[in-house]
């Protein structure tokens, strides 16, 4: 077991990549705190973890990562319960797509608040504990959109490129404390987020869902979407000691999208 008795916090674990990561971490023996704004779906994640025998070792918390105080409470409660945090997966994220000239201000605020400020708050309140422990691994969620342009995604791209910069900077700050900070950059991954993105683009362009889906499939050289479990295994690698010499790195799990 690669995470035996490691205390792991995962934000955005009610569905998609976060849920798959939580299930995988449970199989690997982790003690977990799972946080999300969507409490109903979070309970379903907990049920799925039960099947892996990890239910007693898992706590769920309703947390809005846009709310600094909320995030602080999540981190403080984790320390109260378990005394430390070994792995922090900063995964909660949102996507909004559309041409820049029509992009509603409130949608850009949401992207910034969740993807950038949420990432910052989640790290900010955990850092003092990581520094004291002199041990830990932080994994953020960037995207192919941090590396290359994507049509109708300029606003989303800006937040994910920000996550990449944040991750690199933080890696330098925390290296003297034996805390590693890395990101993963998924390509098109079959989650509710991607499906809603494809639906919106299909609606806006007046073309069938399947046509937009095929476009996304062709972006990677492997010709298909990733399963969320395939992203979770990259996150597990960065969480575990198998990546003990990696910090400030970005793991591209994009089916070759950014290689073309």
Ligand X SMILES: NC(=O)c1ccc[n+]([C@@H]2O[C@H](COP(=O)([O-])OP(=O)(O)OC[C@H]3O[C@@H](n4cnc5c(N)ncnc54)[C@H](O)[C@@H]3O)[C@@H](O)[C@H]2O)c1
Q: How far is the CB of 118 from ligand X (least distance, A)?
A: 6
Which CB atom, from 12 or from 136, has the smaller least distance to ligand X? 12
* Active-site residue, from 121, 125, 129, 156: 156
How many other CB atoms are found less than 10 A from the CB of residue 116?
Answer: 18
Q: How far is the CB of 17 from ligand X (least distance, A)?
A: 4
Active site residue 156: yes
**Which residues contact ligand X by CB under 6 A?**
11-12, 14-18, 36-38, 41, 63-66, 91-95, 114, 118, 141, 143, 186, 188-189, 191-194
| Residue 105 CB burial class (10 angstroms; 0-12, 13-18, ≥19) | exposed
Question: For residue 102, what are the CA distances in angstroms to 154, 171, 193, 197, 200?
Answer: 12, 36, 21, 16, 14
Rounded Cα distance between 17 and 217, Å, is: 18
Q: 157 by DSSP, 3-state: which?
A: helix
Q: How far is the CB of 249 from ligand X (least distance, A)?
A: 16
Rounded Cα distance between 138 and 133, Å, is: 13
Which CB atom, from 133 or from 217, has the smaller least distance to ligand X? 217
Task: Report whether 150 contacts 254 (CB < 8 A).
Answer: no
Q: How far is the CB of 144 from ligand X (least distance, A)?
A: 6
Which CB atom, from 54 or from 93, has the smaller least distance to ligand X? 93
Which CB atom, from 18 or from 234, has the smaller least distance to ligand X? 18
**Terminal-residue alpha carbon distance, the chain:** 36
Residues recognised as catalytic: 156
């Amino acid at each position: 077991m690669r995470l035996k008795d490691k205390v792991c916090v995962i934000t955005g674990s009610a569905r998609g990549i976060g849920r798959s990561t939580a299930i995988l971490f449970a199989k690997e023996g982790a003690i977990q705190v799972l946080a999300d704004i969507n409490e109903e779906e979070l309970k379903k994640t907990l049920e799925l973890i039960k099947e892996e025998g990890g239910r007693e070792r898992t706590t769920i918390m309703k947390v809005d990562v846009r709310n600094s105080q909320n995030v602080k409470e999540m981190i403080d409660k984790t320390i109260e319960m378990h005394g430390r945090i070994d792995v922090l997966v900063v995964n909660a994220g949102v996507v909004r797509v559309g041409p820049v000239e029509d992009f509603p201000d409130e949608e850009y605020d949401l992207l910034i608040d969740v993807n950038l400020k949420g990432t910052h708050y989640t790290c900010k309140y955990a850092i003092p504990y990581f520094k004291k422990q002199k041990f830990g691994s932080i994994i953020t969620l960037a995207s192919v959109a941090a590396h290359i342009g994507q049509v109708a995604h300029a606003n989303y791209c800006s937040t994910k490129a920000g996550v990449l910069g944040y991750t690199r900077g933080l890696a330098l700050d925390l290296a003297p404390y034996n805390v590693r900070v890395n990101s993963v950059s998924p390509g098109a991954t079959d989650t509710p987020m991607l499906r809603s993105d494809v639906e919106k683009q299909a609606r806006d362009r007046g073309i069938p869902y399947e046509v937009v889906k095929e476009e996304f499939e062709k972006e990677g050289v492997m010709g298909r979407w990733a399963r969320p479990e395939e992203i979770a295994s990259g996150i597990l690698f960065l969480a575990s000691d198998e990546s003990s010499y990696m910090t400030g790195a970005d793991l591209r799990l994009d089916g070759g999208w950014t290689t073309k």
